[in-house]
Structure 1
Amino acid sequence: MARKLGSRGSCILRVAAMNALGTNLELFEYAGADRRSWTATAGEAGTFFLLLRTPRPERIVSRLFTENAVVRPVEEPVFGYEIALPSGIQLAIQRSTSGDEDAGRLIGAVCLNRYDYQGAVSELQGTFGLHQAGEVTAFGASGVLLTGAHGAQLAVLHGHSPSPRPANSDVGGHHVAFHADDVDASIDALRLAGGYAARGDAETITEGPIAGDRWVYLDSPFGLQLELINMPDGMLPYEAEAETRRRPIAAGVLA
């Protein structure tokens, strides 16, 4: 199970699912797993951060000063702030321009080394059907903003100072999830595409608040861990009483 979860040894996994400004985000706690010291800063290859573009970033930042966040103003190439939250999450808040369709949406950003970056952009466009919607620079790393017909956008950047990628159970560990109408058929399709390897068999959760969720982690040819997941909207037990629900997932995302 440790290999399937991408953790360093046996652990108890807790997950907090969030709807963060219209983006489905999950925070993981791997209790009991070994953790390696992870000192890389956002922007280095192997790291992950969140990006928010808004017309008035200073209004958001003013609230963070009271939460013991470390805030660094940035003037170029885009005005904004680079922030280290006490939780360990790194956040870039940038001033949006007039007509910026991404304004107000939280975007996940992954940083890869120079060898994996080109392969990731090529695979995510060719195999997963995403297309380039713009360019991104934050934390000293530059890259592209990718989007598809459904779901959240993803920023893929050429990181600097290459460092080992953290395991999921390390602080800073991360992966990118894709909804699949049929998880098993999607695994077969990615195997045929070449370079993708599932971490065990797909599994359906049978008990608890997300019973019915079918998932599997995969290793990709460009070094980023992925997840295929099917969580049918309106059919999960937690939805009966939850005040907030995930952003709905449209069928046909990855068939």
Structure 2
Amino acid sequence: MPSSAPELVGLPTARAVDHYGFTVSRLDEAVAFFTDVLGGELCYREGPVEDSRGDWMTRKLGVHPRARAHVALVRLGPRTNLELFEYTAPDQVVSAPGPNDVGGHHLALAVADLDVAEERLRRGAAVRLGPTVPDAPRRWYLTPWGILLSLSEPGRPDGRIFSPTLPQYANPVQRSLGLIGTEYVSYTVADLDAATAFFTDVLGAELVQGPQDTEERPPGAEPSRRALLRTGPTANCELVQSTTTALRSRPPRNSDVGGHHLAFYVDDVDAAAAYLGRHQGVELMGEPETIARGPIAGDRWLYFRTPVGIQMEIINMPDGSLPYESLTSARRATPGTLRWHDRP
């Protein structure tokens, strides 16, 4: 149902979170896991993305000028797009940050039955972390290629938080897993209060829990504070305070294993960029650019750095007329007619 908010507060013309970007060590394995084990659909692959002579990679993506990337877009469930990168770069860091470190992150999924889902993940070579507690409300897993996942069964609905619902037309793999959808994405930040303020004041996210101490954390993670925010109509974001035991105080670059970014779908990339450029600590990475060829030709996009250490992106996709759509029946998840303050 539409929100009662009288006007859009935050990022101009925003509709929804478009995708979560993750840099992985082995792209083929990551794609296979998200499709064969979790039931995602591969929409397209592209690459290499590179600039053999200039500085485009540095200006636009914040990586070494001679870095090169291969990219895949996987749709996971009804609402989530995952943009997966595999980079080679002269200065690449090949180990991902841990949950206590600035830049730590994980993807939280809701499933119908934890035991059924765990069995499928184990067959996919995911490793359960920590002591096995049968009645634990959340379970933690590490994929064979290094991303941290958590699974939980749906709790009591809270209208302020986006709660995924069982897809009506789930594919056989999703039905076997019992995947309901993405519950939230989690990022560990250096300053939880500053990050929460940026999400609410600049992006227009809604704070629904915290900041507060939490006992719900990955095995081996130190006690910390967290905040849960609703980021648009169909996504939630958890922000976690890094701890005094953190080994890394700087977030990974997009080219590092464990690099990540958060992308927002907007109707007007240029208007959103102009708004962001007026905020202290935001660094626009060049000017908005429209992709001229390849599987998503027509996409207008721009990366930006934030004062809280999370790299982000604004994009506008001409879904329904993208070149990849002629090659597959898979389709990116889109916000459709939803807007940022709608609460479906």
* TM-score category (smaller protein): 0.7 to 0.9
Matches within 5 A, 1:62-81: 62-72=119-129, 73=131, 75=133, 79-81=137-139
How much has 1:39 moved relative to structure 2? Answer: 5.1
Report the equivalent of 1:190. Answer: 276
Residues 43-70 of structure 1 deviation map (CA, whole Å, 9 limit, x = unaligned):
4321121111334222111112223222
Relative to structure 1, is the Cα distance of residues 76 and 112 closer, same or farther in structure 2, using a 3 angstrom cutoff? Answer: farther
Moved more, 242-251 or 184-193: 242-251
Residues 147-180 of structure 1 deviation map (CA, whole Å, 9 limit, x = unaligned):
2443422222223333121111111000111112
Report the equivalent of 2:181. Answer: 105
Write the letter of the residue equivalent to 1:85: T
Report the equivalent of 1:125. Answer: 200
Relative to structure 1, is the Cα distance of residues 45 and 149 closer, same or farther in structure 2, using a 3 angstrom cutoff? Answer: closer
- Given that 1:233 and 1:249 are in contact with CA atoms closer than 8 Å, whether structure 2 keeps it comes out as no
Report the equivalent of 1:13. Answer: 69
Relative to structure 1, is the Cα distance of residues 122 and 138 closer, same or farther in structure 2, using a 3 angstrom cutoff? Answer: same
Residues 63-105 of structure 1 deviation map (CA, whole Å, 9 limit, x = unaligned):
1222322212565995232111012111011233244634622
Partners of 2:336 and 2:84 lie apart in 1 by 22
Gapped runs of 5+ residues in structure 1? none
Name the Cα RMSD after superposition: 2.5
| Larger RCO of the pair (alpha carbons < 8 Å, separation 6+) | 2
- Given that 2:188 and 2:241 are in contact with CA atoms closer than 8 Å, whether structure 1 keeps it comes out as yes
How much has 1:232 moved relative to structure 2? Answer: 2.2
Partners of 2:136 and 2:318 lie apart in 1 by 38
SS at match of 1:19: strand
Identity, % of aligned pairs?
31
**Alignment: residue pair count:** 252
SS at match of 1:119: helix
SS at match of 1:154: strand
Residues 198-233 of structure 1 deviation map (CA, whole Å, 9 limit, x = unaligned):
111221101011000111111111111111111122
Q: 1:228 aligns with which of 297, 300, 314?
A: 314
Partners of 1:69 and 1:245 lie apart in 2 by 27
Structure 2-normalised TM-score? 0.66
- Given that 2:111 and 2:117 are in contact with CA atoms closer than 8 Å, whether structure 1 keeps it comes out as no
Partners of 2:316 and 2:278 lie apart in 1 by 21
Moved more, 88-97 or 67-76: 67-76
Counterpart check, 1:239 vs 2:322: no
Relative to structure 1, is the Cα distance of residues 89 and 67 closer, same or farther in structure 2, using a 3 angstrom cutoff? Answer: same
Moved more, 37-46 or 47-56: 37-46
Matches within 5 A, 1:78-227: 79-99=137-157, 101-102=163-164, 104-106=180-182, 107-113=184-190, 115=191, 117-134=192-209, 137-139=216-218, 140=221, 141-160=224-243, 161-162=245-246, 163=248, 164-227=250-313
Q: 1:29 aligns with which of 86, 93, 111?
A: 86
